Amino acid sequence: MSTTHTIGLDLGGTFLKAGVVSEDGTILERIRYAVDPSSAEKVFKTVGEAVGACRDIDRCLVAVGLGIPGIMDHGTHVIMNSPNLHCLDGRALDDLMKDVCPLPYALDNDANCGAYGEFVAGAGRGTTGSFVLLTIGTGVGGGIILDGALWHGARGFAGEPGHVVIERDGRPCNCGGRGCLETRVSAGAVVAAYESRGGRAASAEEVARRAHGGEGAAVEALADVGRDLGLGLAAIINLLNPEVIAVGGGVMGAGELLLGPARVEAGVRAFRASFLSTRIVEATLQNDAGMVGAGLMARGVIQ
């Protein structure tokens, strides 16, 4: 049998990204669609169009993987909460998919798809067992791979490293809690740290550029946030001792200026032997991770 390809779909609040994905995670073709968030039916009409367009490109596509923004019950495929696509709240995705998708499909949340993509085809390539992805942007997303498969937990809600509490009496978090990792580690936190050191920048990317240019306050701001990231890494290491933790997201333009201090702090906070046996690296697939992961995950539903 010739090599089979799959369709990887990464659904967001604004765009649906679709790709034809090869067995090794290469994106062979890509298409982007605007999403009309006013109803679930409209969103899935676009999903159907994307599947059709991919099949027009490649007649031999065998399955679809779809990454969904939001919290999904992994047993029933019901969306509990989708902050960026509220029209999906409470909807059973199989009811929506069956009308628009003629191929077998796999569903997962977008952060899990990203983790799976990085594990197989990105920073985790060659890792056989355990891998955790943290994606730092507006907040901290991620996913956990154990024994080579996504870890979903009792009902699919596992893999929320952004909401590990690192500060008992910390700042209120969007999740309703307080002191979660993402209250101190995010693009906004980088800007805030820079401002607290007397700087002024429009974005975390700008802080990173200035830091790479040698500006002291920017370097220090990234180190501040990096050290807090280290607390989250230490929690993951002490609980799971994964082979690899990869860190991605918009903030990672900072690279080692963020990750270096994070590694040092994790080394102090985590058990030494455990820390030394977990590699902490940069993610490599950037914005493609979710689409690649969805496409690779689709291979799991092929006979």
Subset of residues 33 to 62 that bind its own copies, contact rule: CB under 8 A: none
Nearest approach in angstroms of CB 258 to its own copies is 17
Which of 168, 202, 213, 303 binds its own copies (CB under 8 A)? It is 168
Dihedral sign, Cα of residue 116, residue 161, residue 270, residue 262: positive
Binding mask 217-236 for its own copies (x = CB under 8 A): -----------x--x--xxx
CA distance 183 to 302: 40
Q: Is 263 in the site for its own copies (CB under 8 A)?
A: no
CA distance 211 to 109: 33
For its own copies, which is the closer residue by CB, 6 or 278? 278
**Do residues 7 and 51 make contact, with C-beta atoms less than 8 angstroms apart?**
yes
CA distance 84 to 135: 17
Subset of residues 76 to 105 that bind its own copies, contact rule: CB under 8 A: 80-81
Q: Is 123 in the site for its own copies (CB under 8 A)?
A: no
Could you tell me which stretch among 30-38, 191-199, 263-271, 283-291 binds its own copies (CB under 8 A)? Answer: 263-271
For its own copies, which is the closer residue by CB, 174 or 287? 174
CA distance 41 to 35: 11
Nearest approach in angstroms of CB 17 to its own copies is 26
Which of 61, 66, 107, 166 binds its own copies (CB under 8 A)? It is 166
Subset of residues 274 to 303 that bind its own copies, contact rule: CB under 8 A: 274, 277-278
User: 225-255: buried (b, 16+ CB within 10 Å) or exposed (e) per residue?
Assistant: bbbbbbbbbbbbbeebebbbbbbbbbbbbbe
Chain centroid, CA 251 distance in Å: 13
Task: Report residue 283: phi and psi, to 5°.
Answer: -65, 160
Nearest approach in angstroms of CB 239 to its own copies is 6
Q: Is 154 in the site for its own copies (CB under 8 A)?
A: yes
* Side-chain half-sphere exposure of 85, counting CA atoms within 13 A: 30
- In the complex, the residues that contact its own copies under the rule CB under 8 A are 71, 73, 80-81, 129-130, 144, 146-147, 151-161, 163-170, 175-180, 184, 228, 231, 234-236, 238-243, 268-274, 277-278
